[in-house]
Structure 1
Amino acid sequence: MTTLHIKNMVCDRCKIVVTQELTRLGLHPQKVTLGEVQLSETSLGKEQLDTIDVALTAVGFARIDDKRARLIESIKNNIIERIHHVDTIDRKFNWSDILAEELHHDYNSLSSLFSSVEGTTIEQYIIHQKIERAKELLFYDELNLSEIAHKLGYSSVAHLSAQFKKITGLTPSELKKSRKAEDVRTPIDSVHPKK
């Protein structure tokens, strides 16, 4: 079995597109998760890897061959999975413990690596992902602000509103009233705190 690490795989649609591309190339994806594909093929030659790279690049993805880059992508994918694809985040959720356990690395080393390469902290990345999810939930108008705060693991609406305003320049209520959520939403794979 061969494992490919793929950059920008952040949603279920991404997994479908990557699976289709690899299948089109005659490969056999066995397990596809955010950022990772396990193929039944035991090894791939340089020509096959080059063909995969061209196909993935054409649809907005990239194969990651560097160990540090794979680890950073794994950090991002774990955060995205829990914020955008899990129903509710527990307020007592401990990101440092979860990331260390999931990625089998000490959290301090994960944090140092992430900061040195990305130019921001894991904590800031988490906050920005939560705010992007809040914008999405406001846009769909299915939950009130209290429900959104609870869903994203905030201790209060005030805490969510303060972080929201700091990052977007608007309170959630102001954004909702302006109905400009579509103008300020960012694709998940492009969410990044300003350096």
Structure 2
Amino acid sequence: MFLGDGDSIKVTQLDEELGHVGLAQPGSPKLINSLLENGYLPVVSSIGVTDEGQLMNVNADQAATALAATLGADLILLSDVSGILDGKGQRIAEMTAAKAEQLIEQGIITDGMIVKVNAALDAARTLGRPVDIASWRHAEQLPALFNGMPMGPGYADFSLSFVGRRRSFPALNFKIRKQSYGTLGRAFYPGSRSTVQTIQRLTAL
């Protein structure tokens, strides 16, 4: 499905000079909630449509943030990295905006991870709660993260917080095939390259 289905996400044009680039805002949760309640796992592309009927390409992380806001869900951003390491080579479990800025200035967070971390921090600000980043390479470990448990040594699992400690939010229930993952308060959005692999691994559990 795409962002415009069921008015799940409202999309407006970001800037005329940028062409068909859209900005996603929360919409109606009815369609996605109905799909989840009936055992479906929605895979949503980051293509939206304006009120005027124009198709817009939306940044995937920003689209995921809008979906999480629509559903009242926590957000997990999947990446291909194994985690962020500090200056001593130790994996960072939690990060604040101030700490992220410091590590970027020190050259510890570099290249594409800067974009991912900034996207997660923007999402944390928008949602008003922490955002998790995890690796799609170890999809078999994701159910643990869905249930609020660490993924274990060697797996990416870190939280970026703008507002402090985690709060509780209404959870969503969904099933993949006949396997139930119980309560899921997370909206996760795999990147285009990893979507099929992630879904295949989840459905094989």
- TM-score tier (shorter): under 0.3
* Alignment TM-score, normalising by the size of structure 1: 0.26
Looking at CA atoms only, which structure, 1 or 2, has the larger radius of gyration?
1
| Higher relative contact order structure (alpha carbons within 8 Å, sequence separation ≥ 6) | 2
Higher helix share: 1
